[in-house]
Chain A
Amino acid sequence: MSFEWPWQYNFPPFFTLQPNVDTRQKQLAAWCSLALSYCRHHKLYTLGIMEVQECPVFNHKNIDRKLSTEAILIVFEELRKKGNLEWLDKNKTQCLVMWRRPEEWGKLIYQWVSRSAMVNSCNTFPPEFHGLEEWMLIRSLQALQTDGKAEVITMDDGKGVKFF
């Protein structure tokens, strides 16, 4: 299924950081939403600021408009404030994108596990969550652990998890 662009994507001013504060708020909200859906669609978990500038999301060649680096960083800061993004380095060149937050993943995992009646036994990572990067999975399990619903166990051949 191809990605569906929102109407703003074809609206040239969308790529100019708006001077009016209220308009800018609407604009940033739309950008956050677009960035997250794009990452979700393409299963992107980590972004490098260099590649991101050339990514079709921020660089719309058809209408010859691109979001400036400054504006991209502002969008990313919004995402960070909402808990959907985390910088991997102080220089802000690489970041983790959590289009689904660890708690949300944790819930999904627990639901899957409960449905599969694997509760109260040890298990290795479920194959259904293929594509889910390990760091994200570990965070999700940690979220479950905090909730008292799971325990991450280190075994000889890697990590395992026990669900309660």
Chain B
Amino acid sequence: MLSIDECMSKQMKTFKYNLEEFASKHKQEIHKSSQFRVQFQEMCATIGVDPLASGKGFCWQSQRLLEMLGVGDFYHKLGLQIIEVCLALKHLHGGERVHHQGRGKSAQDVSQDDLVRAIKKLKAMENGFGVISVGSSYLVQSVPAELNMDHTVVLQLAEKKGYISVSEIRESLKWERERVCHVLEHLLKEGLAWLDSQASGEPQYWLPALFSELTSLDVTPEETNQMTP
């Protein structure tokens, strides 16, 4: 378990990966939208991330992190955008140092809060991030989990209510029963999901990581809109 401070600097490092593969995948978008780049350059400065710091290579965890960041949610976008900017600026500005805007108190508060929320959202994917509130502070649990795209997609579905069932997955994704069960078995095995066999109708699979989030402060759509630059 790491303290929130230790984890936040770890997350900073996570966001500063050297992602050659990612660059080649998204090169066109990055080239196209200079406005996008400038906007997120500003966001980087606000967050206090140095987009030109070089990462230490590319590990499988970051790849999974990237896979999971492609969700229509502000905090997932936040992580993705930071990585995109890192790459964009690195590749297109040839190593020029970015001038950080002065950070006012409110900007600082927002960025810390944003990072905590971003981590909380990422914990839904349980890819090495899990924020557990302990009294008035947080502990971050670094537990790597073996997750592929199927698992991720199901986790995303479960995010809405904090739980999911076989038929809900089948209805949403049109998968065969075997495929659904295979994913749910894996989530149980990884300890990401707990079985509720007393639910009416069919068993439900609950994500404890999402449960404590549901009962504590969550981010409303209005808040999300306010925070999007």
Contacts and interface: CB of A to CB of B under 8 A. Distances in A.
Interface of A: 7, 10-16, 18-20, 22-23, 26-27, 64-66
Chain A CB count within 10 A is highest, among B163, B198, B204, B211, for B198
Contact of A13 (B189, B206, B212): B206
B29 to A, nearest CB: 41
B226 interface: no
Given A15-B198, A64-B198, A20 B208 contact: no
27 contacts: A7-B211, A7-B212, A7-B215, A10-B215, A11-B194, A12-B163, A12-B196, A12-B204, A13-B194, A13-B195, A13-B196, A13-B204, A15-B196, A16-B194, A16-B195, A16-B198, A18-B194, A18-B195, A19-B195, A20-B188, A20-B191, A22-B191, A23-B191, A23-B194, A64-B198, A65-B198, A66-B198
Contacts of A15: 196, 198
B172 interface: no
Interface of B: 163, 188-189, 191, 194-199, 204, 206, 208, 211-212, 215
Contacts of B211: 7, 11
Contacts, number: 45
A23 to B, nearest CB: 5
Contacts of A16: 194-198
Nearest to B192: A23
Given A7-B215, A10-B215, A11-B206, 10 more contacts: A11-B194, A11-B208, A12-B196, A13-B204, A16-B194, A16-B196, A16-B198, A18-B194, A23-B188, A27-B194
Contacts of A7: 211-212, 215
Contacts of B212: 7
Nearest to B198: A65
B43 to A, nearest CB: 34
A20 B189 contact: yes
Contacts of B206: 11-13
A65 B188 CA distance: 20
B123 to A, nearest CB: 15
A20 B206 CA distance: 14
A26 B191 CA distance: 10
Nearest to A22: B191
